[in-house]
Amino acid sequence: MILTGPAIAAAVSAGEITIAPYDPARLSPNAYDWRLGDTIRICDGDLDAAAPTAFTELAIPTSGLVLQPGVLYLGVTLERTGSETYAQLLNGNRTIGALGIWVHVSAPLGHQGHAIRWTLEIRAAKPARVYPGMTFGKLVFLTTLGPPASYQQQRAKYAATHGIDISRLYEEIPQGAL
């Protein structure tokens, strides 16, 4: 079940949900409006699942950054979010989609117990200017069924993520980078 805006506010007040920085004005009927952080990575060259991805990291200027088609950008949420009680779904929103920006299509699930600034996969259909701190999507909190299984207690490769993280699939591929 999806938490309503008032239920999210109550869970934040009770310490069951972390949203930092938190602004109650960003609550909607069933979600929290999250923002784009101020850093972006541009993936360089060909991508190879068996090797770390080369990238260039940039601060997004206050005047904005124009995203180009055909480029994979890795961004980060402004907010750090998480919960030991609830799972999360991070999505772009209609406003960003109407600009031809696809964000975080492949990995929207935030596991119970994982409090992070999300790494975002960003693609643009046409050149589109983005700004640090702009609303970029909606975060939904979900109740879970069964005993809690905190992500932080698992041997998961992304458990210590603190910001933008490249794919580490190469750790699972025998011939991958060591």
Enzyme catalytic residues: 121
User: Quick one: CA torsion of 15, 28, 100, 49, rounded to 10 degrees?
Assistant: 20
Cβ neighbours for 76, distance < 8 A, ≥ 6 positions apart: 36, 37, 39, 40, 117, 118, 119, 120, 163, 164
Sign of the CA dihedral running 69, 165, 130, 31? positive
Q: How far apart are CA 17 and CA 155, in angstroms?
A: 23
Q: How far apart are CA 158 and CA 104, in angstroms?
A: 16
